[in-house]
Structure 1
Amino acid sequence: MTTSPDAAMSPGAGTPPVAAQRPAVRRPTELIRDFLTVSEDFEAHVGRELTVNPTDLQAMEHLIMHGPSSPTELSRRLGISTAATTAVVDRLVAVGHAQRTQHPTDRRGVVIVPEPASVQKAMGTIMPMIMGVDGVLDEFDEEQQAVITAYLQRVLEVYRTHIPDAE
């Protein structure tokens, strides 16, 4: 099957489609790009399961992974203003994913606590995927797992070097 040179052009734009403009990379690098896309799709799926928007999902992730948090700490972790964080917390409380409780050592302060049922629902969605990914390693011997681990560690290092002010 032959294709005319114009068939690879974006309709009406006169320029090659974005895919044609990407630099040629090896298959593992393409797979990492695909992984990142699928990861975003999975995160959107989790958000739909919990009926939250992406910012609220990020807040839930922080509360689940790091435990109860003050609004100020949650604001810092999300990289949003305290006013925006108040709106996020209001939404999470309204849909039953979190509650405000009195700070254990500061009577004037509050902490945001994830609701156990919401944590259970989130983990029920996430853990089968995590265990499936982890199970894939069983298909490789220890030496191959060490190579895979080394490769992924180096990929993370490369990513981190391209993030300004990475923690």
Structure 2
Amino acid sequence: MTTPADLPDPRRRVVMLLQAFSAAAQRYAEAAGAQRGLHRSDLHALLAVMQATMAGRATSPGELARAVGLTPSATTTVIDRLVASGHAEREPDPLDRRRTIVRPTESARTDGREMFRPLGDAMSVVVDDLDDAELEVVTRFLHRAIQATTEAAEAAQG
């Protein structure tokens, strides 16, 4: 297995820059969430619920637990906090009333925009500096990096 240390310098630098970017993005999300009383696990769960909702999928607590890698009891605690903060609602699944689904509230969408607008604006400046060919390369790279990261996370979870 190739490790970052085994890569030639330019490729090693890319991997190290990705690690630094990931850490900086996590610090931003934690700081922005902390200003609103949200824990890191709350932000991860809320993002998963919002992404599923945008994709037209309902999210059960069990699906949420798998998506964010939490135990069922930890997921219940996170959902309780999100409901208490007004960022999520529990409701019966309209297709199966025995099942509960978690939905983001309008407050979650508003807070999310407010939390991440400064970062989005800053990243837009970076993206605006790229020409179409560079955007194509960066887009392809990021899709592959996300897939590799997702696969590594799944492997780490067992």
Aligned match of 1:91 in 72, 78, 81?
81
| Structure 1, gaps ≥5 residues long | 1-21
Bigger-Rg structure (1/2): 1
| Structure 2, gaps ≥5 residues long | none
Structure showing the higher helix proportion among its residues: 2
Q: Is the 8 A contact 1:46 1:122 kept in 2?
A: no
SS of the residue 1:134 aligns to? helix
Cα separation, 1, equivalents of 2:59 and 2:151: 29
Q: Give the structure 2 partner of residue 19 of structure 1.
A: none
Aligned match of 1:108 in 90, 98, 107?
98
Q: TM-score, normalised by structure 1?
A: 0.70
SS of the residue 1:50 aligns to? coil
- Please show how residues 119-158 of structure 1 align to structure 2 within 5 Å: 119-153=109-143, 155-156=145-146
Q: Give the structure 1 partner of residue 108 of structure 2.
A: 118
Q: Give the structure 2 partner of residue 33 of structure 1.
A: 19
Cα separation, 1, equivalents of 2:123 and 2:19: 17
Q: TM-score, normalised by structure 2?
A: 0.73
**Distance change >3 Å, CA 79–CA 123, structure 1 → 2:** same
Give 1:138 deviation, angstroms: 2.1
> Letter of the aligned partner of 1:70 in structure 2?
S
Identity of aligned residues (%): 28
Alpha-carbon RMSD across the aligned residues, in angstroms, is 2.8
